[in-house]
Amino acid sequence: MRNPDGKTPSPGPEDPAANRARGGAASRPPDRSSDFGATARRTTALVTRRRGLFAGVLATGALGVGLTVAGPVLLGRATDLVVSGSFDDAGNGIDFGAVARMVAYAAAVYLAAGLCGVLQARMATVAVQGAAERLRRDVEAKLARIPLGYLDRTHRGEIISRVTNDIDNLAQCVQQVLSQLVVSVLTIVGVVAVMFWVSWLLALIALLTVPLSVLAVAWIGRRSQPEFTRQWQHTGRLNAHVEEMYTGHSLVKAFGREEQSQAVFDAENERLYEASRRAQEVSGLVQPLMMFLGNLNYVLVAAVGGLRVASGALTVGDVQAFIQYSRQFSQPLGMLAGMLGMVQSGIASAERVFELLDAPDQAPDPAEPARAPAGLGRVAFEDVSFRYVLDTPLIEGLSLVAEPGHTVAIVGPTGAGKTTLVNLLMRFYEVTGGRITLDEVDIAAMSRADLRSRIGMVLQDTWLFGGTIAQNIAYGAAHATRDQVVEAAKAAHADRFIRTLPDGYDTVIDDEGGSGISAGEKQLLTIARAFMTDPTILVLDEATSSVDTRTEVLIQQAMTRLRQDRTAFVIAHRLSTIRDADTIVVMAGGAIVEQGSHEQLVGAGGVYSRLYAAQFADAAAEVDRRAVN
């Protein structure tokens, strides 16, 4: 969530606001329909990926529909038998044997249709849920490939909303749509076929309303789609505000800003309400309209059918079956149209998910990655440059060598580029000039996994995942025993506070600090985590700034032990923690201004000596004097 050096490259094309706007309405391509089509095709491809399964869905669907359509035909025959029997002047009455046969056939056909329906729905479920699983997996896999810069520049609540709200909505919509779509479409086709078979005239009348329906749906759809897009955009924005306010909850309280925060929430909430309401109001017109067209159909069939029977062209049974068909026909048509809202809502969400999936990846690892020899750990920055925006370099022509086993301390004022160095070494960001080598191998030629597995690091911002304390400590070492975990905790001086927690090492924690763990304690846990791995290179990024001084001294001793035989980069504001470093690098404005040991630099009378003097003349030296007195 942060830039490599934690600061804004002065506003430019890479400005976060501009980037964020890419997710907004302003940046959407003007041609909504082509966008819609592409997204719809992509979603369909996702669902129909398992061809065999999907063929099964279609086959059972077709069979089921065929049977469902056959039912009324048989019942119509039965009706005819009843009619001819009751109007039979010969007085033979109704042929109940034949009626019974027809009715039994119909019942059997309906049962078989039901069976097909069950099979079809079961297969559809597997297809849809498989697709949803795959989409979630794709998004998760994307997180492993996405450049850090993308996440750093995007609102966290916004991304989370895409991953949770939008995928959830998409899965629900696809599930709903697919379970009805296949049956609806096939039913319509089947019913139309049979209707033509029975009476082409009534069939044409029934079909009269179809173009009307299509026009109506298209007209409404054009108006409702933007509303659905807005609905999910506002959901994302509302989520972003909620996420931010819940994260900064204690500040909202301390500054008495509940009312203002609520006001912002209310405004965004109102916009979400407006968009959702309009989306539903507009798309909600479809269902009644389709019902009306269906009823119109019904009336026409009844009237025209009645006239045809009167003129002797049709039997009453035919009309009865036809009325049933026109119901069977308009019902799936109505359902199909009623899905409009679902489809549009799902597509609006799918677009937001695909947008995340389509963000450019970081450069892939080389096909045949170079491997640095194991266990040495000589790191060299050779004329390294880095910039976000082309005209504002953050690091310029920086060269620096860390010999194996040496400790390099990096100091300098805020904004000097210290954290950027670490980000480049870890390849969180790639250099834009020069190269960094590990034991003479360009790290850009190595695989990221290989490189990072050689580096143990404690980051400025701690991160704990939901799990027990023991699991968090053992994060870098999969098969660690409890004894090893306790040992690491003791080395990081976290053991004492862990034992004061209700469940000790089995206390469940998460990154929100759910168990009353302080920032300093979190830091101790992340230090213990670094102890668990056995890296060649160590990076301590202001690692001890939140730990109290008493603990820090103990950590220093442990760190010194840990640093033995390892190359270490230490970034610290407190000069006291780095006095024993082999090399101290003083940075300013993205370049190295001084380099040498503590004694050398103090003697040189440059920036470092001034920093040191300021620190001790102003504070510690006096403490020192009083302590002696």
Partner 1 sequence: MLIRLVRAHLAPYRRSVAVIAVLQLAQTAATLYLPNLNADIIDSGIAHGDHGYIVRVGTVMVAVALVQLVCSYLAVRIGARVAMALGRDLRRSVFARVQAFSVREMARFGAPSLITRTTNDVQQVQMLVLLTLTLMVSAPIMCVGGIVLAVEQDAPLSIALVVLAPVLGIAIGAILRGLAPLSNAMQRSIDSVNRVMREQITGLRVIRAFVKENHESRRFAAANTELTDVSVRVGRLMALMFPAVMTIVNVASAAVLWFGAKRVDSGDMTIGALTAFISYLLQLLMAAVMATYMLLWIPRAEVCAGRIVEVLDTESSVAPPARPVRGLARRGHVEMRGVGFHYPGAETGVLDGITLSAGPGQTTAVIGGTGSGKSTLLSLIPRLSDATAGTVFVGGVDVRDLDPGLLSRTVGYVPQRPYLFSGTIASNLRYGAPDATDEDLWRALETAQARDFVEALGDGLDARIDQGGTNVSGGQRQRLAIARALVGRPDVYLFDDSFSALDYATDARLRAALAAETAEAAVIVVAQRVGTIRDADRIVVLDAGRIVGAGTHPELLRGNDTYREIVLSQLTEAEAA
CB 262 within 8 Å of CB 253: no
x-or-dash pattern for partner 1, window 171-200, by CB under 8 A?
A: x---x---x---------------------
Which of 28-36, 155-163, 194-202, 396-404 is the region at the interface with partner 1 (rule: CB under 8 A)? 155-163
65 by Cβ neighbours in 10 Å (0-12 / 13-18 / 19+) ranks as buried
Q: Return the residue of 38, 103, 212, 389 that touches partner 1, per CB under 8 A.
A: 103
- Give 254 or 367: the residue with its C-beta nearer to partner 1: 254
- Contact between 298 and partner 1 by CB under 8 A: the answer reads yes
The yes or no reply on residue 506 touching partner 1 (CB under 8 A) is: no
For partner 1, give the closer residue by CB, 38 or 58. Answer: 58
| Residue 136, SS3 per DSSP | helix
Q: Which stretch binds partner 1 (CB under 8 A): 78-86, 203-211, 379-387, 581-589?
A: 78-86
In whole angstroms, how close is the CB of 281 to partner 1 at the nearest point? Answer: 5
Candidate list 58, 62, 185, 243; residue touching partner 1; CB under 8 A: 243
223-242: contacts with partner 1 (CB under 8 A) = 235, 238-240, 242
Interface with partner 1 by CB under 8 A: which range of 28-36, 288-296, 372-380, 561-569?
A: 288-296
Task: Find the shortest distance in angstroms from Cβ 627 to partner 1.
Answer: 6
Nearer to partner 1 by C-beta: 426 or 443? Answer: 426
Q: Nearest CA to 366 among 436, 450, 433, 439?
A: 450
* 542 lies in the site for partner 1, by CB under 8 A: yes
Structure tokens at 342: 């679902």
Confirm if 421 and 381 have CB atoms less than 8 A apart: yes
User: Of 168 and 358, which CB lies nearer to partner 1 in the complex structure?
Assistant: 168
Compute how many residues bind partner 1; rule: CB under 8 A. 207
Question: Judged by CB under 8 A, does residue 272 bind partner 1?
Answer: yes
**For residue 516, with 0-12 CB atoms within 10 Å meaning exposed, 13-18 middle and 19 or more buried, which class applies?**
exposed
The rounded distance, in Å, linking the Cα atoms of 285 and 282 is: 6
Give the footprint of partner 1 on residues 432-461 (CB under 8 A): 448-449, 452-453, 455, 457, 459-461
Backbone torsions φ then ψ of 504, nearest 5 degrees: 55, -130
3-class SS of residue 284: coil
Dihedrals φ, ψ of 89, to 5°?
-70, -25
Nearest-angstrom CA–CA distance, 610 and 603: 11
- Give the C-alpha separation, 512 to 532, whole Å: 23
Tokens of 229: 């897009």
With binding defined as CB under 8 A, does residue 281 bind partner 1? yes
Q: Which lies closer to partner 1 via its Cβ, residue 33 or residue 453?
A: 453
Residue/partner pairs of 545-549 with CB below 8 Å, 24 or more apart: 545/460, 545/572, 545/573, 545/574, 546/519, 546/520, 546/522, 547/520, 547/523, 548/520
Report the nearest approach of partner 1 to the CB of residue 180 (Å): 9
- The stretch near partner 1 (CB under 8 A) out of 218-226, 369-377, 430-438, 506-514 is 506-514
